[in-house]
Amino acid sequence: MAPAATHAEEKTPSHPNIMLIILDDIGMDTTSNVYPGLIDGLVETYGPSGLNHPDYAKIKGVPASTPVLDAFAAEGMTFSEAWAQPFCSPTRASMLTGLYASKTGVRDYTNWLTQNSHSVAEDLKGAGYNTAIFGKWHMAGLNQYPGMKPKEAGFDLFRGNMNGAIEDYWNYTYQVQDANSAPGDVRSEKAPVNSLPGIAPTSYAPVTKIADAIGWIEDQEKASPDKPWFVWMAYNLSHITPQREAPTVVPNADALDDASREEMAACGGEFGSKNVGDCSAEALNRAMTNSMDTTIGKLLDYIDRTAPDTYVIILGDNGTPMYGRPSTNFIDNMYITRVGRGKGTGYESGMRIPLIIRGPGIKAGTTSDAVVHVADLFSTILDFAKVAIPQMVPNREGTAMVPLDSRSLAPVLFEGKAEVRDPVHNYIAAETSIPVLGAGTPTGEKSEYQVAVRNGTYKVLCIEKSGSTDCQFYNLVKDPIEEYPLQIPANCPAKVSMSFSATDEAGNYCFLRNAIREQSDL
């Protein structure tokens, strides 16, 4: 990759190229090397010199080997307090629309965006951008895909998969929308075979999709070099496949670094296959994540050679999964309590994600602890493109306009600001329903419903199950991985006075609890 200073010293271009790279099921724990000192700081907080938690040793586990992401982080700004939604579809919907899940109506992986939704790609296309998406869409619902398709959202080209997971990492259906497609039509093709520098020809999904993205960018640079482009690059890795008996895979050997190849070989994994030998779920998750990292490196190398003024955003779409079976429990680092947490939950392990942004005017090697949300990328991308940010957008039904939830991160990225929201009297929100499979409707039946909100210090998480609601209250500054819930005040006024301070626990709880009522029916 290009030297960090190259990106930091350039002036911001008027209509830059923009690349959004979404990592599937990648939480902070998996990529903790991106945040030097994170794990050691948590050990100090929870170890003998701090809270003296009896299980503090679990914090220092084994993250994935991610040398490309680690180097990329040193070239841009990392955000240490970024929230996604707890599931993949809601996160994608929030990024695309700039709205929280209460407004998109997408709370889990069975829900879908309606065609009434306003998309960031529409605004970019209207400003003269060529737009394309490669990889996972997962905003049109499952199976018959009744919801918004990529072309309906303003993308010129889609090559990837409409659903949440691919059947197999080497033998899968490739779904396409192109210039010959009606906006609501999607056709299926056989997965192509592609190669990347140093990686032999293969149908392995990350190689194929990165090669497709590079090919499309090459075409844009040749055909219309003065026209900017926007690429939404959505990985399937490190998501499991739907096959219960073989949900994880051993990546191609040439898509792994030495450390990951050695770990797979030691446990008997067969490279480029579903034959995982005696490899643990955690080791397989690390290998899948490392192969993702390797292929990201091929894409960044190409961008650095051909379009170095590109703004590149890399983030996880939700926390690392803990599916409740030894073969699919993947958290091996950072968090102490793991059962009942992780992906799909409103705990930090389900929503706190890596977020890194690099590009002209962004100082290399910087970190922000601003409280930010994936919905903020809607406005940030439009700011990069010098496109007006809409303050009101259509609701899900298309019957009224609703205010945007997104806040541009530009003041933090370019102006040295500490926050984009009031750290005391404002909040970010996330919610999740754990669906009853087969419900398959936009507001389908759910077995559990969780809503979380936080400000700069405090967090409230409310969980509705079996008709009753239980709320938990945490100080995320003192207890960032949620081991010691605070006492909840006995009563809260119907309207909270905004005179409460950052240290007023009762005032913060009541403010955030009322925010949950505003966001939901809890």
pLDDT for position 439: 37
State the pairing for strand pair 77-83/199-202.
unpaired
pLDDT for position 446: 61
Question: Taken in order 166, 341, 23, 276, is the CA torsion positive or negative?
Answer: negative
Under-70 pLDDT residues of the chain:
1-12, 436-446
* Domain 4-420 -> CATH class: alpha beta
Answer whether 84's CB lies under 8 Å from 159's CB: no
pLDDT tens, 471-496? 999 999 999 999 999 999 999 998 89
pLDDT for position 435: 74
pLDDT for position 500: 97
Contacts for 441 with CB less than 8 Å, ≥ 6 apart: 110
CA distances from 267 to 26, 287, 322 (A): 23, 12, 22
State the pairing for strand pair 130-136/229-234.
parallel
Residue written as token pair 């994994």? 269
Q: What is the pTM of this model?
A: 0.96
Q: Where are the domains of the chain?
A: 4-420, 422-522
pLDDT tens, 204-241? 999 999 999 999 999 999 999 999 999 999 999 999 99
pLDDT for position 94: 99
Contacts for 154 with CB less than 8 Å, ≥ 6 apart: 119, 120, 121, 122, 123, 124, 125, 131
Question: Taken in order 334, 336, 338, 340, is the CA torsion positive or negative?
Answer: negative
